[in-house]
Each structure stands twice: as C-alpha cells, then as structure tokens.
C-alpha cells in the first residue's frame, strides 16, 4: 500500500496528458493575441468576501474556504472574473478603455468528481471592459467560435440567452433582486415547475406566470424568429423587450459578420453566476451534457467592487473539457515537435555529442541525448519508443572526418552527412 495517495478530486497530468493540456492552452494564448488581449496573472488565493460577493449560491457552497495564519477568511479562486474585476476597481481603474484582459490557470470548486467535473480544473478567461455596445458581446462569441475551430472541435454550438429577459419580467412584477436569484437558480438547474411555483409564491401575477410558461417552451436556431416571438409574448414588460432587442442586435452582428459557429437561442436560459446583466451563453457539444465554456455581460460588478461604472463582457473556456471533447469526437491532438535523438557511440565522443546537441537546440530543434551509456541499437530502440524523428549517431571515425550518421527513424534510412550541413539536412527530410 503506497504511503501517500492523491487528494480526492485532484489529478496528476502525466506527460501525454500534460502535453494535451498545454496544446489547448497554447491555442487560447494564440486566440488572445489574435484578438488583442493582454495577459494578467492574479493570485489563486483571494478574500472570501470578494469571491462570494456576486458569484451565486451554487459556487459559494462549493468553495475551498479557510482562515490563513493571520486569521483572514480566504478561499481558492473558483473563477477568474472576480479577481479581474477587483483589478479594474483598483490598479487598472484609470487605464484607457476598452481593456481586453486574458488569464489562464487553475480554479477550484468542490464539485462531486465525475466525467468532466473536477475539483481542480483549468480555464482560459477573456474579459473586455469599457464597452456596453453589442460588438463587444459579438467579439467574445467570435473568439470562442474561433478557438473551438482552431482546436478542431468538430461539432459544437453556442447556446445564447439574455438575463434581462427574465429579470425584466420579474422586476416589472416587483420581485426583489435577491428573490429573482432564487427563481433563476431553479431555472439554471432546469427545474421549470419549481421556478414557476417560486415565482407564484413571490407574487408574480397570473399574466406573468403564463408569459413565463410560454417563454419556457421556446428555443431554436432561427434566432430572429425566437426573439420576435419573445417580444410578442413579453410585450407588457418593457425591460424584457429591450433585453430581447439588445440580443437581436448582437445576433445581427454575429450573422452579418459571418462569425461562424451554429447557435441556439434560448430565452429561458439562466446561468448560476449572479453578476450577469445582459447576454449570456455556453458552448456545447453533442457528445457531452456539460458545457465547454460559458460567459456573458456583467455591467455592474466593477462598480460594486468600488470602481468606476464599467460595462464588461467575458467568457471562460474549460480547458479540461475541451480536451475531453476532442477525444470524444476523435479529434487529433497535433503535438508537433521534431525530436532529434543524439547517440554517442563511446565516451571519447561525448564532448562532440554535447556540442552537436547545443548547436541543434540553437537552431530550434528539440534534442534528446543518450545518457545511459547504452549500445547504439538499444539507444535507437529507445529513440523510436519516444517517437523521435531522427537519430544522429556520433562515432570517433565520423568525428575525425567532420561527419555524423543521420538516421531517419520513420524510413529507417541512414547516411553520412557533413556536420556543417546537419541542421539543413534535418530541415530537408
């Protein structure tokens, strides 16, 4: 029995898993720079009251909370948004807007471990601050669509809604914000009947309940029609109608701008986080019933944290779940590296082997060297097992002639090449 085991819900990433994770992460970084986002790094430990201010009951009940040795109540971050909004209210307060900020790293939620649900997981997080215009919302949808396509997620769609539709109706029915949250939480977990009962108990009128029931039944790909129907059903609730109009503008831009990904409009859609004030969305694939990403507009959070009124919209993608989706869909992880394996035949040429390794690394090749003193055939077996592309075999006679033996490990052909020409020869092969 081993002495120490992993903590439940935590994972180790062995080399092949770690390289997949880093491959997905690298794609998110590339998207960040393609869309003009700058990276920031924030701490994993934050104040408990910051993280719970507007996160919602669901996340709140699943946080890793503790008192540090100074007696401060702190928690491991369950998401990035609160930390980034804290910065907007403090250090970044006076930066010219818009500001596009990217982060990536681990998050912690005490979820019940199961397929795609971990207690430590990875996100790439994108936030745009300073614009309340629909093109900012569309930008977030667009980068999400590009990321999925770039990584080769074959079938995915965006489920899109707008919290203003439901909150608008409830506000005009005089339901307080805190009580609205209770209704929305039930809707987030798709307990439609319970949500209706709750709304009724909070004093929503018979007309309001019947409008909600109708809203609960509509969703579809034809976004313009769905939103037209939504406006008709909610015509007596002007806040809800303007929310639907705002979503129409975002969709129009998305369609006219030929952004790409398929989408489903769902006016009843609610998300667990309480800070959202506008468009909300999730990324879904047919093979899984959990989202690969989620986000939306939250125009009040920075102000709530003591900053200037700052409109904001963002998204977080679950890197672990994207990896899982790629595996489920049989997508290829293209972990492309040209690996060169250097094999010194005897100790006398070790110095030359080190020299060649240094030279090739300088040229940008990934180089591994035989360091166990094994025979050439054993070292070649090892190189093949490690999926190296080439072996460079170095012996005293070859060195004396200024040459090395270059072996292509795919075709198994080998020939003597001039040491000077080695980098160029690797390129040609």
Provide the binding-site residues for ligand HAM, judged by CB under 6 A. 79-81, 109, 111, 116-118, 121, 123, 125, 127, 273, 291-296, 314-316, 318, 320-321
- Please answer whether residues 280 and 63 qualify as being in contact, where contact means their C-beta atoms are separated by less than 8 angstroms: no
CA distance 396 to 386: 26
Q: Which is nearer to ligand HAM, 317 or 407 (CB)?
A: 317
- Please answer whether residues 84 and 103 qualify as being in contact, where contact means their C-beta atoms are separated by less than 8 angstroms: yes
Residues in the chain: 429
Tokens of 82: 């609160």
Minimum separation from the CB atom of position 413 to ligand HAM (A)? 46
Q: Which is nearer to ligand HAM, 56 or 208 (CB)?
A: 56
Q: In what order do the strands lie in the sheet with 157-162?
A: 38-39, 99-108, 120-129, 312-318, 293-297, 279-284, 157-162, 262-265
- Please answer whether residues 125 and 102 qualify as being in contact, where contact means their C-beta atoms are separated by less than 8 angstroms: yes
Residue of 234, 240, 265 whose CA lies nearest to 252: 265
Q: Which is nearer to ligand HAM, 296 or 395 (CB)?
A: 296
Minimum separation from the CB atom of position 277 to ligand HAM (A)? 11
Minimum separation from the CB atom of position 172 to ligand HAM (A)? 26
Minimum separation from the CB atom of position 261 to ligand HAM (A)? 15
Q: Which is nearer to ligand HAM, 80 or 365 (CB)?
A: 80
Q: Which is nearer to ligand HAM, 161 or 395 (CB)?
A: 161
- Please answer whether residues 262 and 158 qualify as being in contact, where contact means their C-beta atoms are separated by less than 8 angstroms: yes
Minimum separation from the CB atom of position 258 to ligand HAM (A)? 24
Burial 360-376 (b: 16+ CB within 10 A, else e): beeeebebbbbeeeeeb
Report which residue's Cβ sits closest to ligand HAM: 318
Minimum separation from the CB atom of position 43 to ligand HAM (A)? 16
Q: Which is nearer to ligand HAM, 84 or 357 (CB)?
A: 84
Q: Which is nearer to ligand HAM, 287 or 382 (CB)?
A: 287
Burial 258-274 (b: 16+ CB within 10 A, else e): ebebebbbbbbbbbbbb
Q: Which is nearer to ligand HAM, 63 or 404 (CB)?
A: 63
Minimum separation from the CB atom of position 402 to ligand HAM (A)? 55
E strands, 27-133, where?
Answer: 38-39, 45-47, 65-67, 73-76, 99-108, 120-129
Minimum separation from the CB atom of position 127 to ligand HAM (A)? 5
**DSSP H helices in 292-343:** 301-304, 319-328
DSSP three-state, residue 49: helix
């Amino acid at each position: 029995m081993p002495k120490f085991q992993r903590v439940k819900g935590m994972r180790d990433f062995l080399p092949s898993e770690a390289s997949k994770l880093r491959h997905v992460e690298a794609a998110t970084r590339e998207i960040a720079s393609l869309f003009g986002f700058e990276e920031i790094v924030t701490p994993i430990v934050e104040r408990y009251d910051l993280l719970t201010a507007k996160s919602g009951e669901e996340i709140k009940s699943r946080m890793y909370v503790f008192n540090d040795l100074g007696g401060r109540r702190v928690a491991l971050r369950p998401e990035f948004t609160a930390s980034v909004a804290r910065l907007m209210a403090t250090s970044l307060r006076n930066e010219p807007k818009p500001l596009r900020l990217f982060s990536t790293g681990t998050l912690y939620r005490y979820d019940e471990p199961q397929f795609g649900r971990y207690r430590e997981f990875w996100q790439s997080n994108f936030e745009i601050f300073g614009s309340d215009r629909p093109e900012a919302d569309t930008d977030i949808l667009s980068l999400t669509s590009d990321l999925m396509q770039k990584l080769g997620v074959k079938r995915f769609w965006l489920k899109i809604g707008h919290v203003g539709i439901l909150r608008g109706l409830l506000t005009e029915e005089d339901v307080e914000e805190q009580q609205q949250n209770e209704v929305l939480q039930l809707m987030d977990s798709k307990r439609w009947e319970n949500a209706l009962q709750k709304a009724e108990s909070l004093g929503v009128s018979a007309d309001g309940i019947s409008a909600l029931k109708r809203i609960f039944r509509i969703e579809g790909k034809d976004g313009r029609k769905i939103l037209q129907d939504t406006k008709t059903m909610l015509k007596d609730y002007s806040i809800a109608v303007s929310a639907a109009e705002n979503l129409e503008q975002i969709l129009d831009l998305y369609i006219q701008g030929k952004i790409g990904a398929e989408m489903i409009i769902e006016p009843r859609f609610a998300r667990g986080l309480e800070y959202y004030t506008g468009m909300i969305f999730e990324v879904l694939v047919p093979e899984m019933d959990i989202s690969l990403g989620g986000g939306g507009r939250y125009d009040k959070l920075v102000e709530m944290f003591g900053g200037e009124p700052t409109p904001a919209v963002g998204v977080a993608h679950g890197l672990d779940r994207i990896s899982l989706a790629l595996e489920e869909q049989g997508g290829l992880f293209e972990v492309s590296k040209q690996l060169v394996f250097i094999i010194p035949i005897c100790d006398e040429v070790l110095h030359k082997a080190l020299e060649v390794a240094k030279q090739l690394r300088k040229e940008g090749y990934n180089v591994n060297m035989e360091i166990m003193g094994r025979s050439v055939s054993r070292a070649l077996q090892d190189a093949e097992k490690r999926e190296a592309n080439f072996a460079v075999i170095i012996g005293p006679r070859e060195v004396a002639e200024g040459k090395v033996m270059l072996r292509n490990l795919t075709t198994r052909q080998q020939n003597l090449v001039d040491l000077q020409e080695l980098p160029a020869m690797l390129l040609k092969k």
